[in-house]
A and B are shown apart, each in its own frame.
Chain A
Amino acid sequence: MEEPLDLIRLSIDERVYVKCRNDRELRGRLHAYDQHLNMVLSDVEETITTTEEDEETGEEIVSKKTRSVGMLFVRGDIIVLVSPPLRTS
């Protein structure tokens, strides 16, 4: 591996985990990417985590919402981290 983007290149057609800004996570099959890290993913499961504060008790309520999308485009600049599937190495 010479440069970080090689890690992404080696993950083409594999399922990847993509951590985005604003507590948004995507899991899907990587179809394509470019130098900005714009991506096309398919069979995507999107998870959005929100934390709200209970007005009476002041406790933090963490809720996760998930939904499925057949295919989507992710703009590279919202991506924080990409992890390929675990390989035994």
Chain B
Amino acid sequence: MSSALPDNTSKAPEKEAEAVPENKRSPSDFLKAVLGRPVNVRLNSGTDYRGVLACLDGYMNIAMEQTEEYVDGQLKSKYGDCFIRGNNVMYISSQRR
């Protein structure tokens, strides 16, 4: 009597398994998925910044943590926290590590 129903029917899907309607993924869906995760930010200059995405705004200004700066693929420096001005950003890619 006291046993509950198996909850595998009612349980909300995990964030990652979220059903995306029509297999579309808008920029804001993407950003929700990568917030707090390791990302690679490529600037128009070709410089890459790898770190954890702390937050960003509508201009694509970005705050990152544990950031590594790569110029021509070579590690050039590290920053604890850093702010990147959005106009320089070419793309943000999710980084698996």
Contact = CB atoms under 8 A, between A and B. Distances in A.
Contacts of B87: 77
Question: Which bracket fits the contact residues of B?
Answer: 20 to 34
Interface string A46-89: 00000000000000000000000000000011011111101101
Interface secondary structure of B, over-half rule: strand
B57 A83 contact: no
B80 A7 contact: no
Contacts of B67: 83
A80 B85 CA distance: 5
Nearest to A84: B81
Interface of B: 43, 45, 49, 54-57, 61-63, 67, 79-85, 87-88
